[in-house]
Each structure stands twice: as structure tokens, then as C-alpha cells.
Amino acid sequence: MNSELGLIKRQFGHRARLALSPAEIRAMDDQAHAARTMWNCLHAWWQMMPKSKRSLAAADQAIRQARGDIDFLAALPAQAAQAVLKTYFQAWKNCWDGRADEPGFKARFRSVMSVDIPQGRDLQIKRVHRRWGVVNIPKIGRVRFRWSKDLPVGKKANSDNRITGARLVKDGLGWHIAFRVQTLERVPEPHQGPEVGIDAGVNLPLALSDGNHQDHGRAPRLPNGDSDRDKWLNAEEKAKLLRLERQAAHRKSLRKPKEKTSRRLHRTYDQIRALRAKATRRSIDWQHKTTTALARQYGTVVVEQLNITNMVKSARGTIEEPGRNVKQKSGLNRSISQEAWGRTVTMLAYKTARYGGTLHKVPAPHTSQRCSACGFVTPGSREDQATFACKNPDCGWSGNADWNAARNVLHLYRIGLVEVPAAGRAVVRRACRVKPATAR
């Protein structure tokens, strides 16, 4: 960052769809499987070697020998193999620092197929049409990709504005390329917009304290009360997904134990995966558009510090102590996971900073049970999932439950009860005790 010139370096990613021929798809699949095999070879080498010999140089020598001994590993470019090595060692550093679990074996059908291109100069990007560009992929050649965002290429590229690398990723809709972009931008002026508290929910995705709620128009519950697992699909797509799931279950039931999965069943799984990927793409698109609008409108955004991992734990219990309402809790867990609250907060964090605003987190306990008008937690006030009616005889305020929680979230920020990261964990800084939130 150059404070004298008021400039700051910004790094972000941009994902684009690739247009590949069947031969190119097979070649990229071979590279992805070689990268996964390289990871598994490194993991096996790490487990066999004593701790004193686990070094980056020794691992580099091991993968060089593996590329010479195993023929199909040659499909992976040398730079991509080095990227696998660096990623594996970084995974262990993240584990030692307490940020992730130990790296493990990557299974063939449960792992994301991806290949890294660490050098941006190898891409040789060029725009050839209003909607399409071409990129050079090592050992594949020139490939078209969907041009949906201006990239620093050609005369626009320099030492401060450039593409530093890319990553090839495959999902249910095919292969995509994720560019790593570095730009030099002006430091944004402080955002003078208003403050807003946001409560993330299931019935109402984003409830705002000023009443400007954000709803994606997708009903979280079916008429029969069951959880709608595919609310981002239309009626025809839902019917097709249900038919494919039943078809896959039937074909799986006919497979004998230890029998290889048929190609017909694999094709059915691919069709299911494509529909799931389409729903995820629509969800992410809505989140991007919504968080961008919020970052432009509000100068201070306040959210709850949620432990989503604990919120979506199963209620199944154990054999000795079985859980209750397991099916209902499972449906709620699916709805929470589909809303992707953590991804929404991540988007708000970097978008508010881009527009000069700030994002703050406050403690989550009792924000949905406390009345935003009188400040008391009265039993029975939360009558149902959608309505809050204060049972305090001196208050009697009623309104939308998510709106009530959003008002409480903003009030906690205004009195100074915010989460401050310290020593790798979140601690609560208390400025004063919680008082009734009368003024809004």
C-alpha cells in the first residue's frame, strides 16, 4: 500500500466458463487426476518419512522421481506439480496453526477436480470478441472462455495491474478458469452512509434493521411442511431432479456388492450434479448482487458472530441417548446450509472495505429472544418462527421476528458490544451493559 499516493493493492478472483472440445475435456480431466494422484503420493510419502526428513527439498525430489516412474503423471505440467507441492505443505501449516484439519487422502469421486497455473505469463490472455476471450492452458493450447469482466491484459497490464495466475476447476456444469487478479486502486473515501444491522435467517434471508429486507423470493418450506432442498430450481428442474434421484436409487439397488458402478449410473449422477451446480450458481449470483447493493448503500454493516458449524450439527444422538425431532432438525440444517450465511458475511467484508465502509460483528446470544423496544427477554415472546410479540406488560411491541433481531444487532454495536479478534480468537469488548433499545 502506498499511503502517500493514496493507492492500495487489491487482489481478487474472477471465474469464467471455458468452451472446450471433447478432446480438450479429456486432456484436462487427465491433468486433474494426475494432480490428485500427485497429492496422494505426497501424502503417502509424508506418512512414511520420519519427521527429520520431511522437508520441501526432499518432497520436491520425491515428486520429480514419481513423474519419471509413473507415466500418466507426465500429463500434469511441471509448474502445476510444484503448485501441488506448495499447497500440500501450506495445508500442514494451516493445520499446525489451528486453522484447518490435517490434510488427507483425496478420493476419486469425492474430490474437486482442479489444476493450478501458478504463472500468469503462461496464460497469454487476449480478447477476441465482445463475449469471448482466449487463454493459453499448458499442454492444452488456446481455449476460449466467457468474457464477462474487463481484465488487465494487453496494454492495460503492468507491474501493478496484472493477472498473477489461475486455477482450473470443474463442477457439475463443466470446466471453469478462476483468474487471480492484482490491481492498484485508490483508497476509497470513508463511506458516509447510514448504519444497518443484519439478521440472517431461513424464512427471511437478510432482515435489515431499517426494514429494507432482502428476500430472494424462494420459499424455504414446501406446502407439506418439509424442507425444500432445491429452492433455487424451477418446477420443471425440480421434477427432473426428483426423477433422476429415484432413477439413481433404483439403479444403485440393483448393483451387487463390490460390483463396479455402471456408466449409466455415472451419467445419472452427472446429471444430478449439473442441476445442483446450477442451483448453487443462482444462489451465488443473488448473494453477489445483494451484498454489492448493501455495501454501496450503507457505511456501517453489523452482523452476528455465528458459529454455523455448531448450528448445523445433527440431532440424531447416540444409541444410548437418541435425539428428538431428528427429521425436522435435518431439514432446518439443510435450509441453513443452502442460505450460506458464512459466504454472505465474507462477501460483505471485502465489499464494504472496497466502498469505504466497515463490517462489525456482535455476539449472537439472545438477539432473537430480546425485545428491541424495551430490551427485556420475556418467555413466550417468540410465538412462532415469523412473529415476535413482547410479553412484557409495560411494552407489548410486536413485529417481524427477524426484523426485531436485526434491530437488536444494530443496538449491540451502538453500545459497543462488538467482537474483536485477538490472539487468533474472538473476544467480546464490553463498553457498557445492554440497555433498552428505544431510539432507532
Per residue, what are the HEC states of the chain? CECCCCEEEEEEEEEEEEECCHHHHHHHHHHHHHHHHHHHHHHHHHHHCCHHHCCHHHHHHHHHHHHHHCHHHHHCCHHHHHHHHHHHHHHHHHHHCCCCCCCCCCCCCCCCCEEEECCHHHCCCEECCCCEEEEEECCCEEEEEECCCCCCCHHHCCCCCEEEEEEEEEECCEEEEEEEEEEEEECCCCCCCCEEEEEECCCCCEEECCCCCECCCCCCECCCCCECCCCCCCHHHHHHHHHHHHHHHHHHHHCCCCCCCCHHHHHHHHHHHHHHHHHHHHHHHHHHHHHHHHHHHCCEEEEEECCHHHHCCCCCECCCCECCCHHHHHHHHHHHHHHCHHHHHHHHHHHHHHCCCEEEEEECCCCCCECCCCCCECCCCCCCCCEEECCCCCCCCEEEHHHHHHHHHHHHHHCCCEEEEECCEEEEECCCCCCCCCCC
Residue 27, in any domain of the structure: yes
- Are 287 and 418 found together in one domain? yes
- Are 98 and 222 found together in one domain? no
Q: What's the CATH code of the domain at 353?
A: 3.30.420
- Are 181 and 208 found together in one domain? no
Higher per-residue pLDDT: 38 or 155: 38
Indicate if the pLDDT at residue 318 is higher than 80: no
Give the model confidence (pLDDT) of 345-365 as tens digits.
999 999 999 999 999 999 888
Task: Identify the pLDDT of residue 224.
Answer: 43
- Are 336 and 416 found together in one domain? yes
Name the residue range of residue 339's domain. Answer: 195-230+279-429
What pLDDT band is residue 220 in, cutting at 50, 70 and 90?
A: low
Residue 18, in any domain of the structure: yes
Indicate if the pLDDT at residue 427 is higher than 60: no
Of 157, 186, 215, the position where a domain reaches its end is 186
| Cell, residue 49 | 518419512
Give the model confidence (pLDDT) of 34-56 as tens digits.
999 999 999 999 999 998 888 98
Residue 102, in any domain of the structure: yes
Of 186, 218, 241, the position where a domain reaches its end is 186
Indicate if the pLDDT at residue 425 is higher than 60: no
Indicate if the pLDDT at residue 174 is higher than 50: yes
- Are 370 and 224 found together in one domain? yes
- Are 212 and 151 found together in one domain? no
- Are 220 and 352 found together in one domain? yes
pTM (predicted TM-score): 0.84
- Are 355 and 303 found together in one domain? yes
Of 158, 186, 214, the position where a domain reaches its end is 186
Look at strands 132-137 and 141-146 and give their pairing: antiparallel
Residue 316, in any domain of the structure: yes
Mean pLDDT of the chain: 85
- Are 16 and 56 found together in one domain? yes
The number of domains in the chain is: 2
171 vs 312: CA distance, rounded Å: 24
Task: Identify the pLDDT of residue 2.
Answer: 54
- Are 144 and 292 found together in one domain? no
Residue 272, in any domain of the structure: no
Residue 242, in any domain of the structure: no
**Percentage of the chain modeled with pLDDT above 70:** 90
Indicate if the pLDDT at residue 432 is higher than 60: no
Residue 15, in any domain of the structure: yes
Residue 236, in any domain of the structure: no
- Are 72 and 202 found together in one domain? no
- Are 222 and 369 found together in one domain? yes
